């Protein structure tokens, strides 16, 4: 059996690693990762495929009789990879280009939520900078400015001052851009509360919620500093009680999946809702993503006990209502090691030490995994081939433990064995979960 994972981050490393592990329970599969990273290249059952163009991927999947493909990141979904694979008669797990608008257009997502009664912050959409400035002045701060399209995590400004808000409007819309062809922004009410991630699989009709998780988006200790893609995560998220879980399924997930079906664009794939739980216990959707979160995927997949191949096969066949997912009862916690200069201008090419010594140090390898994100190899110097940093987030060290604290200790213990120049690593991943338990 051959499987294909599209992407090159730690989320895709985790997906491919779990698929390979799942295949051993049946018949060993080769899992291709396109294009992958140094970590996926190191794994015994994974094989990097250095192609990214959709027609080339289709040709490969056909020639190699790939059983199914799983898409990790949003960019190929926005490009229409699912539509193209399906037209070629190939099985692929992910949303179509139109369904992916839930992530790729904030304006689409907000209007969609309005049409289907999904709770979200009040907003208005603008393509005229002058009108946007007037609206900001009328509403005051704090206020949130969002670029309409995909912006690789840089499209949202939570403005605490009017200066910041006006500067964001100017940066995203420009002062003299033509109104019609120009970009759009969404200006949104600031919502206070605790932010959580809620991720499900959908076959277009039925949904299977994955284990709960929560990430730390800010760069620095104590949730300070600039927003990032995520500096660490843990699963489960203790703040998602069974009551809240039910409420999220009823008020957000089910209406979203039903709404897409009603609008003639069934949503298949992973669906990620970024939610704010307000102090009064209400829910507001901040965003939808048409993929798993990263680093949420790493901790969720480390806890998955069910066969991931079977789950995806059920999703592809429209039978997700006939299966349940089983999770390790322990907590998984993942710590991101990021490059110097991340998130603005990550430095590349720093040698990473300590990766190979790990299995010997901790023989119970199954209780942790070092997922690679931005890593590459270089045929460098006396050491032969070296693994070097090649992106903003470099590694995600994920570990299991009987409590949040134990998972945290383990993850940091392992991360402490790995070194590269200028590494940025938050020392406090999981602190919210620990405080929650108190």
C-alpha span between 358 and 361 (Å, rounded): 5
- Find the helix or strand (DSSP H, E) in which 423 lies: none
Q: Is 264 helix (H, G, I), strand (E, B) or coil?
A: coil
The DSSP element (H or E) to which 100 belongs, if any, is none
Residue 230 lies near ligand GLY (rule: CB under 6 A)? yes
Tokens representing residue 362 in the block: 């901790």
CB of 278 to ligand AMP, least distance (A): 10
Per-residue x/- mask for ligand AMP, residues 132 to 161, rule CB under 6 A?
Answer: ------------x-x---------x-x---
- State the minimum distance, in angstroms, from the CB of residue 155 to ligand AMP: 7
Show contacts with ligand GLY in window 236-295 (CB under 6 A). 289, 293-294
Shortest CB 202 distance to ligand GLY, Å: 17
Q: Helices 10-24 and 296-303 sit at what angle, rounded to 10 degrees?
A: 20
Distance CA 160, CA 1 (A): 53
252 phi-psi bin (left φ>0, alpha ψ -120 to 50, beta other): alpha
CB of 178 to ligand GLY, least distance (A): 31
Q: Which residues between 295 and 314 bind ligand GLY (CB under 6 A)? A: 296
Rule CB under 6 A: say whether 208 interacts with ligand AMP. Answer: no
69 or 228: CB nearest ligand AMP: 228
User: Which of ligand AMP, ligand GLY, none lies near 195, with the C-beta cut-off 5 to 8 A by kind?
Assistant: ligand AMP
Select from ligand GLY, ligand AMP, none the partner in contact with residue 215, using the beta carbon and a kind-dependent cut-off of 5 to 8 Å.
ligand GLY
- Strand partners of residue 369: 398
**Residue with Cβ nearer ligand GLY (203 or 294):** 294
Query: Alpha-carbon distance 60 to 43, whole Å?
Result: 21
* Per-residue exposure over 138-173, b if at least 16 CB sit within 10 Å of its own CB, e if not: ebeeebbbbbbebeeeebbbbbeeeebbbebbeebb
CA angle 284, 285, 290 (to 5 degrees): 165
CB of 153 to ligand GLY, least distance (A): 7
**Binding residues for ligand AMP restricted to 248-277, rule: CB under 6 A:** 274
Q: In the stretch 118-137, what mask flags binding to ligand AMP with x, by CB under 6 A?
A: ---x----------------
Residues 147, 125: Cα–Cα separation, whole Å: 10
Q: Pick one of 60, 108, 135, 190: the residue that binds ligand AMP (CB under 6 A).
A: 190
95 binds ligand GLY (CB under 6 A): no
Residue 190, binding choice from ligand AMP, ligand GLY, none, Cβ under 5 to 8 Å by partner class: ligand AMP
- The three-class DSSP label of residue 245 is helix
Q: How far is CA 244 from the centre of its chain?
A: 22
The residue among 146 and 369 lying less far from ligand AMP, judged by its C-beta, is 146
The residues that touch ligand AMP, with contacts defined as CB under 6 A, are 121, 144, 146, 156, 158, 188, 190-191, 195, 217, 227, 274, 286-287
Q: Would you tell me which residues interact with ligand GLY (CB under 6 A)?
A: 215, 229-230, 289, 293-294, 296
């Amino acid at each position: 059996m051959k499987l294909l994972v599209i992407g090159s981050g730690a989320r895709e490393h985790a997906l491919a690693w779990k698929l390979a592990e799942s295949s051993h329970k049946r018949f060993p599969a080769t899992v291709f990762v396109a294009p992958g990273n140094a970590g996926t290249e190191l794994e015994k059952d994974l094989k990097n495929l250095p192609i990214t163009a959709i027609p080339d991927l289709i040709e490969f999947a056909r020639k190699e009789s790939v059983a199914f493909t799983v898409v990790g990141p949003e960019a190929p979904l926005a490009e229409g990879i699912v539509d193209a694979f399906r037209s070629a008669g190939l099985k692929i797990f992910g949303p179509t280009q139109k369904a992916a608008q839930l992530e790729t257009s904030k304006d689409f997502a907000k209007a969609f939520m309005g049409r289907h009664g999904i709770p979200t912050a009040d907003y208005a959409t603008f393509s005229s900078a002058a009108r946007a400035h007037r609206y900001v002045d009328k509403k005051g701060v704090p206020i949130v400015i969002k670029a309409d399209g995909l912006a690789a995590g840089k499209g949202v400004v939570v403005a605490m001052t009017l200066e910041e808000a006006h500067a964001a409007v100017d940066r995203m819309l420009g002062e003299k851009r033509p109104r019609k062809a120009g970009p759009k922004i969404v200006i949104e009410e600031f919502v206070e509360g605790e932010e959580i991630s809620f991720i499900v699989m959908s076959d277009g009709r039925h949904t299977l919620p994955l284990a709960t998780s929560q990430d730390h988006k800010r760069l620095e200790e104590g949730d300070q500093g600039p927003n990032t893609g995520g500096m660490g995560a843990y699963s489960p998220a203790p703040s998602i009680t069974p009551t809240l879980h039910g409420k999220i399924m009823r008020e957000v997930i089910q209406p979203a999946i039903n709404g897409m079906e009603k609008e003639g664009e069934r949503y298949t794939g992973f669906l990620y809702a970024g939610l704010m739980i307000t102090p009064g216990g209400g829910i507001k959707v901040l965003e939808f993503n048409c993929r798993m979160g990263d680093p949420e995927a790493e901790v969720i997949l480390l806890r998955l006990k069910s066969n991931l191949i079977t789950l995806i096969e059920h999703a592809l066949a429209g039978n997700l209502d006939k299966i349940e997912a089983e999770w390790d009862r322990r907590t998984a916690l993942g710590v991101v090691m990021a490059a110097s200069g991340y998130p603005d201008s990550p430095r590349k090419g720093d040698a990473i030490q300590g990766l190979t010594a790990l299995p010997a140090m901790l023989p119970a390898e199954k209780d942790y995994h070092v997922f690679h994100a931005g890593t590459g190899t270089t045929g460098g110097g006396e050491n032969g081939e070296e693994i070097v940093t090649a992106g903003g987030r470099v590694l995600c060290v994920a570990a299991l433990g009987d409590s949040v604290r134990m998972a945290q200790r383990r993850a940091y213990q392992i991360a402490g064995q790995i070194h590269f120049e200028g590494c940025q690593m938050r020392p406090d991943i999981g602190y919210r979960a620990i405080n929650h338990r108190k």
